[in-house]
Structure 1
Amino acid sequence: MTITGDLNAQIPTPQANVAQMFVNRVKTSPDTVAFWQPTDPGWKKYTWRDLDQQVRSYTAGLISLGVIDNDRVAIASNTRYEWMVADFAILLTGAATTTVYPTTGIEDAAHIISDSGSIVIFAENQEQVDKYLSIKSRTPRVKNIVVFDGAGDGDFVITLEELGRRGKRLLESSPNVVNDHIARISGDTLATLIYTSGTTGKPKGVELMHKGFTYQAASIESLGVLTAQDVQLLWLPLAHSFGKVLSVLHLQIGFQTAIDGRVPKIVENLGDVKPTFMAAVPRIFEKVHAKVTADVAHEGGAKAKIFNWAFKVGTKAALSGDLDSGKKSPAYKIAEKLVFHKLHARFGGNIRYFISGAAALSTEINTWFAAANLKILEGWGLTESGPATAMSRPWETAIGYVGDPFPGTQVKLAADGELLIKSPALMRGYHNLPEENAKAFDADGWLYTGDIGEIDAKGRIKITDRKRDVVKTSSGKFVAPTTIEVKFKAVTQIASHILVVAANRNFVSALIALDPEGLTAFAERNKLAGGYDQLRENPSVLAQLQSEIDALNAGLNQWEQVKQFRVLPKDLSIEADELTPSLKVRRSRVMQKYQDLVDGIYSESAKTA
């Protein structure tokens, strides 16, 4: 049994709780910028002192509504400045934040609010207000809805401004009320309930404690990866555990955060903010890679030759470790001047590195970014693990690995290849689900992850697949669909998602969704007419997909190769419940929806056999 990581690693002493982290950061950095809020046009900046005044008024406002220690308060909103302020306000009361995606459907929303026992809901806008008013009879514990953008009704639904006014009145009569609440919070107090978007059954509430977040913040800070001089562009869903840990890291280190969850604005915001780091999910990197390589391939000629030469030089420099040690050959400096500086400019020009998480990143795409000296630190973890478990380090190139465990965390490899985790950040358990808790941990307190992986001689972790996703064909061969799907992302220019089908089948097939932007660009370059419906059946589009499948198959074993594919009638989306908010495919739901397409592949094959 292989174990990596050190539970007794030396890290800064974690702070008592997240509320105390907030207090200490305000005290240490009162007049430095904490947040940037988009104002269209431009950005409004808030110092930690500004933030403190807002948060304390909202905290007191919640107390005036009857929120007490260990209550739950929900936030149903996209990522925005008000989300962060509301979260801090909740935590300072001693209550816990229940995170809800704004795209969550009625049934799941009713379950989450009811199961969590949330008594107040922060709602982003009237659409969210209407959703929760429609389930009011099913969530009787809810006392009030507080709306970010909207008028409210002055009674059950109040505005954020009204919450602040109520809080200020309470502070005038009881100036120590917020401090009294903070003083009662311990590391064992529940901080957050995050409901996992399971593919079967109802979402399960993961209970994450204050001490888990303060440990993660101290552990990550000990690596020296980030400093108070950094600037973050934060767009990830704050309802996701990845976004949540970034918020406490912000408190620990004190860097600036520009916050805007509107995905279509990412490129524009990069130019405005010029961040030094940004966390993202793999789909963002895949889209950049596909667009740039497709544009260059279409232009061809001398430009394509220079581009390809530059990346050949860059790949050698990255994989040799030269870029890690600051060595740049004369050839690399030319490549930098001719090609790579343009790519850096796309991201604002100041990026030191990216952090990728929430799903697997293609090694080919990671290598491509590394060649341009745009390092991607790949992380790994689960909501149940806190979530931060491991991350590759910026001082070494270890493409294909998610790095070493964070100091204070251990990961072990079980006999069947599953990775297990032991860490101070692990969840307390699933909310109201004692039977599920018994299944989540082994007898010694190690968390089962469901991830299959490897640990190398240096203690670095590689994720190879999900345990439940490894399937067997009808001929008895094992196939890892996720691994094949990640590889495809590095060769496609026009697809957004691929689902590999192999379980109990006599050959491997795939369903492919086209990326609307990539498809439009392909159509313009090749002078093709029509929208998605027409183009998905166009011979030129199908020929392009076949060439991409051929490139994929060239690197696969014979029994893993995709023999046939079908194009889905539309791209996958969060709104259709086909993607999670972190842009991962809900495999079982998509397969159920398009089962006829899959069956058609194999029935047609049987007829021609």
Structure 2
Amino acid sequence: MDNKAAVMSPLKALEQRCEKQGQSVAMVQPMGGGELQDYTWARINDEARKMAAYLQSQGVQKGDHVALVSKNCAEWIIADLSIWMAGAVSVPLYPTLVAETVRQIMEHSESKFLFVGKLDDWDIMKEGVPEGVKRVAFTLAPRDALNDFPNWGDIIRDTAPIEQVAEPAMEDIATIIYTSGTTGMPKGVMHDFQSFSIVGEKMIKVYNLTPEERMISYLPLSHVAERVAVEIAQLYVGGKIFFAESLETFGEDIKRAQPTVFFAVPRIWSKFYQKASEAVPPKKLNKLLKIPFLNKVIKKKVLGAMGLDQCRIALSGAAALSPDIITWFKKLDLEILEVYGMTENLAWSHTTEEGDQKIGWVGTPNDGVECRIGDGGEILVRSLGNMKGYYKQPDKTAEDLTEDGWLHTGDVGEIDEKGRLRITGRVKEIFKTEKGKYVAPAPIENRLSTQPGLELSCVIGQGMGQPIALLNITPEEQEKLSKGSEKEHFTKELEALLTRVNHELDPHERMTTLVVCKDAWTVENNLITPTLKLKRNEIEKRYADDIPKWAKTKGVVWEA
């Protein structure tokens, strides 16, 4: 594969955007209280150049590591650009990390500087920042950060822009992205400018993106998928990014954005489906859609209630999406296309093309990507977006990345006659029951996820006679149950769910029990990752004393 094709760096792409669309609004930032602030391309470039000059004045040199921790906002992206302009390497941190993990990452990455932005829990993070690290507070940073550190607005006002932005070499490291990891210390994935440049230019061609696109940025920019699909895509094509203000305002935020391109993880699509199903049950919707003069009106109304009536490209990734949900949205003329990628290949692996959807499959290899099935059914990918390696972990790099460029994904799958890929599980998640039969939990959890009222499910069964599923229910369902009258009804719904899902499974996969756990699984209690993936080992450890008892029961059990 030719990895040395002539490409345009993200900084050169920004320069091009300014030449072509300098006065066009590129970002819309909610400031609180209904106030919105527009950022033109010219403003983005000006603030990035000023912040780059400030970084250099504070001693940041070429190749230094600069961390940033914030929820999504305009200054997150501008800070990323300023780090590159200063010749440094950006190290994004998830905005939900605890102090211990903040310290682990900052010390491991040797970050010398930190941008502190829009955060809900800065108090539980700040003790993790090593002494001596210089800091800057974004405009929307918590009050104590604004009081303690130099402020973004003051720096922009008082600093002259960097005179000369050096074009980075393609082999220079652009970023170190620490994986959220379901076990142990996060790994620092290194990507160079070559990867960003190639993926940026190729990505916009997959769905024929135009400068008229609108996107809403709400999944963490510290995660590779959002960073590539939002920040990098916009640099190479233009378009407008709307930022979400908060979880509570998300419904209004998305309606304001009216995105033409929308990427979500299965949990988000599931929430859309569940809320819409509560308003218009699937059977009723099917009847309404059969009425000719109501058909288009109903479709527009249902999608409009989600803010998706202008969406032309709907994508899902990070985990398998329930076939029921895909089929339901398809009836509304919104085709959710599943995609596949990971931090280690800059999310550049497989894409389902419009009109070529095969439900349960994640599409064909992207341009410049090769895929094959290795030992034990493991998916191997050789991609133009593949990482340079793990920072300070040469042994782990050699384990996951072969000398000739094949990445061990850790996923198990198969390839059909058209080259489409289906992921059937994770190598380390597949367990063996006491009968010696192997079970992949993810597809079963995927089937359970369509049930209204369920937030997450974790199927376990290592060494057990049959699998069981531990369930987490939504806050809304918790509130209903607290009133006392709903528990019996919900139990019956779960019993029906157990029967229905088991009917779709092979005998050795069938669950004996659904256990409703009383406490929520959160990032804070270390049961899910910042990207909402289950920490299976931690979940099993938490319920270890009760699991043997639950494994001997049948039906629906409520944790005492």
| Contact 2:181/2:529 (8 A) holds in 1 | no
Displacement after TM superposition at 1:76 (Å): 0.9
2:164 counterpart of 1:186? no
2:220 is matched with which residue? 237
| Contact 1:64/1:167 (8 A) holds in 2 | no
2:28 is matched with which residue? 36
Displacement after TM superposition at 1:122 (Å): 0.6
| Contact 1:566/1:597 (8 A) holds in 2 | no
Of the three residues 26, 30, 34, the one matched with 2:18 is 26
The 1:90–1:152 alpha-carbon spacing in structure 2 relative to 1, beyond 3 Å, is farther
Query: Counterpart of 2:462 in structure 1: which amino acid?
Result: A
2:304 counterpart of 1:345? yes
1:407 is matched with which residue? 367
Query: Counterpart of 1:291 in structure 2: which amino acid?
Result: K
Which has the higher relative contact order, 1 or 2, with Cα contacts under 8 A spaced 6 or more apart?
1
| Contact 2:137/2:146 (8 A) holds in 1 | no
Q: Secondary structure at the match of 2:504?
A: coil
| Contact 1:54/1:164 (8 A) holds in 2 | yes
2:557 is matched with which residue? none
| Contact 2:432/2:439 (8 A) holds in 1 | yes
2:364 counterpart of 1:373? no
1:433 is matched with which residue? 393
Displacement after TM superposition at 1:153 (Å): 8.4
Query: Counterpart of 1:25 in structure 2: which amino acid?
Result: R
2:285 counterpart of 1:307? yes
| Contact 1:64/1:166 (8 A) holds in 2 | no
The 1:123–1:99 alpha-carbon spacing in structure 2 relative to 1, beyond 3 Å, is same
The 1:232–1:126 alpha-carbon spacing in structure 2 relative to 1, beyond 3 Å, is closer
Q: Secondary structure at the match of 1:112?
A: helix
| Contact 2:69/2:95 (8 A) holds in 1 | yes
1:456 is matched with which residue? 416
Which residues of 2 match residues 167-566 of structure 1 at below 5 A? 167-168=159-160, 171=161, 176=163, 178-179=164-165, 182-183=166-167, 185-246=168-229, 247-260=231-244, 262-297=246-281, 306-309=284-287, 334=293, 336-337=295-296, 339-348=298-307, 349-490=309-450, 492-520=451-479, 523=480, 530=482, 538-566=487-515
Displacement after TM superposition at 1:334 (Å): 4.3
Give CA deviations for 1:219-246 in whole Å, capped at 9, x if unaligned.
1122243211111111110010111112
Identity rate of aligned residues, in percent? 28
| Contact 2:196/2:232 (8 A) holds in 1 | yes
Displacement after TM superposition at 1:439 (Å): 0.4
Give CA deviations for 1:162-183 in whole Å, capped at 9, x if unaligned.
3324532xx4xxx62x42xx23
The 1:345–1:90 alpha-carbon spacing in structure 2 relative to 1, beyond 3 Å, is same
1:300 is matched with which residue? none
| Contact 2:71/2:119 (8 A) holds in 1 | no
CA–CA distance in structure 1, aligned partners of residues 546 and 513 of structure 2: 11
Aligned residues: 550
Q: Secondary structure at the match of 2:252?
A: helix
| Contact 1:513/1:571 (8 A) holds in 2 | yes
2:61 counterpart of 1:68? yes
Q: TM-score, normalised by structure 2?
A: 0.92
CA–CA distance in structure 2, aligned partners of residues 516 and 127 of structure 1: 19
1:81 is matched with which residue? 74
Q: Secondary structure at the match of 2:286?
A: helix
Give CA deviations for 1:40-88 in whole Å, capped at 9, x if unaligned.
4153222111211211111111111111111111111111122111111
Q: Secondary structure at the match of 2:150?
A: strand
CA–CA distance in structure 2, aligned partners of residues 147 and 131 of structure 1: 18
Give CA deviations for 1:206-264 in whole Å, capped at 9, x if unaligned.
11111111111111122243211111111110010111112111100001111226333
Q: Secondary structure at the match of 1:222?
A: helix
1:598 is matched with which residue? 547
CA–CA distance in structure 2, aligned partners of residues 282 and 224 of structure 1: 21
The 1:466–1:535 alpha-carbon spacing in structure 2 relative to 1, beyond 3 Å, is farther
Between 115-124 and 253-262, the greater mean CA deviation after superposition = 253-262
CA–CA distance in structure 2, aligned partners of residues 73 and 343 of structure 1: 44
The 1:215–1:19 alpha-carbon spacing in structure 2 relative to 1, beyond 3 Å, is same
Q: Secondary structure at the match of 1:114?
A: helix
| Contact 1:144/1:156 (8 A) holds in 2 | no
| Contact 1:76/1:128 (8 A) holds in 2 | no
Q: Which runs of 5+ in 2 are unaligned?
A: 555-560
Q: Which runs of 5+ in 1 are unaligned?
A: 1-6, 298-303, 314-330, 524-528
Displacement after TM superposition at 1:308 (Å): 2.4
CA–CA distance in structure 2, aligned partners of residues 81 and 32 of structure 1: 15
| Contact 1:152/1:158 (8 A) holds in 2 | no
| Contact 1:118/1:141 (8 A) holds in 2 | no
Between structures 1 and 2, the one with greater helix share: 1
The 1:12–1:487 alpha-carbon spacing in structure 2 relative to 1, beyond 3 Å, is farther
CA–CA distance in structure 1, aligned partners of residues 254 and 126 of structure 2: 37
Larger Rg: 1
| Contact 2:70/2:119 (8 A) holds in 1 | no
Q: Secondary structure at the match of 1:416?
A: helix
CA–CA distance in structure 2, aligned partners of residues 271 and 600 of structure 1: 47
2:135 is matched with which residue? 144
CA–CA distance in structure 2, aligned partners of residues 497 and 392 of structure 1: 25
Query: Counterpart of 1:345 in structure 2: which amino acid?
Result: G
The 1:126–1:409 alpha-carbon spacing in structure 2 relative to 1, beyond 3 Å, is closer
| Contact 1:59/1:167 (8 A) holds in 2 | no
Q: Secondary structure at the match of 2:84?
A: helix
| Contact 2:357/2:363 (8 A) holds in 1 | no
Displacement after TM superposition at 1:450 (Å): 0.7
Which residues of 2 match residues 582-593 of structure 1 at below 5 A? 582-593=531-542
Displacement after TM superposition at 1:467 (Å): 1.3
The 1:132–1:481 alpha-carbon spacing in structure 2 relative to 1, beyond 3 Å, is closer
CA–CA distance in structure 1, aligned partners of residues 361 and 501 of structure 2: 21
The 1:154–1:388 alpha-carbon spacing in structure 2 relative to 1, beyond 3 Å, is closer
Q: TM-score, normalised by structure 1?
A: 0.85
Q: Secondary structure at the match of 2:34?
A: coil
Displacement after TM superposition at 1:89 (Å): 1.1
| Contact 1:13/1:218 (8 A) holds in 2 | no
Query: Counterpart of 1:101 in structure 2: which amino acid?
Result: Y
The 1:363–1:13 alpha-carbon spacing in structure 2 relative to 1, beyond 3 Å, is farther
| Contact 1:412/1:419 (8 A) holds in 2 | yes
Query: Counterpart of 2:15 in structure 1: which amino acid?
Result: V
| Contact 2:101/2:128 (8 A) holds in 1 | no
The 1:448–1:535 alpha-carbon spacing in structure 2 relative to 1, beyond 3 Å, is farther
2:110 is matched with which residue? 117
CA–CA distance in structure 2, aligned partners of residues 588 and 453 of structure 1: 22
The 1:127–1:473 alpha-carbon spacing in structure 2 relative to 1, beyond 3 Å, is closer
Of the three residues 492, 504, 527, the one matched with 1:578 is 527
CA–CA distance in structure 1, aligned partners of residues 277 and 145 of structure 2: 53
Of the three residues 158, 162, 175, the one matched with 2:150 is 158
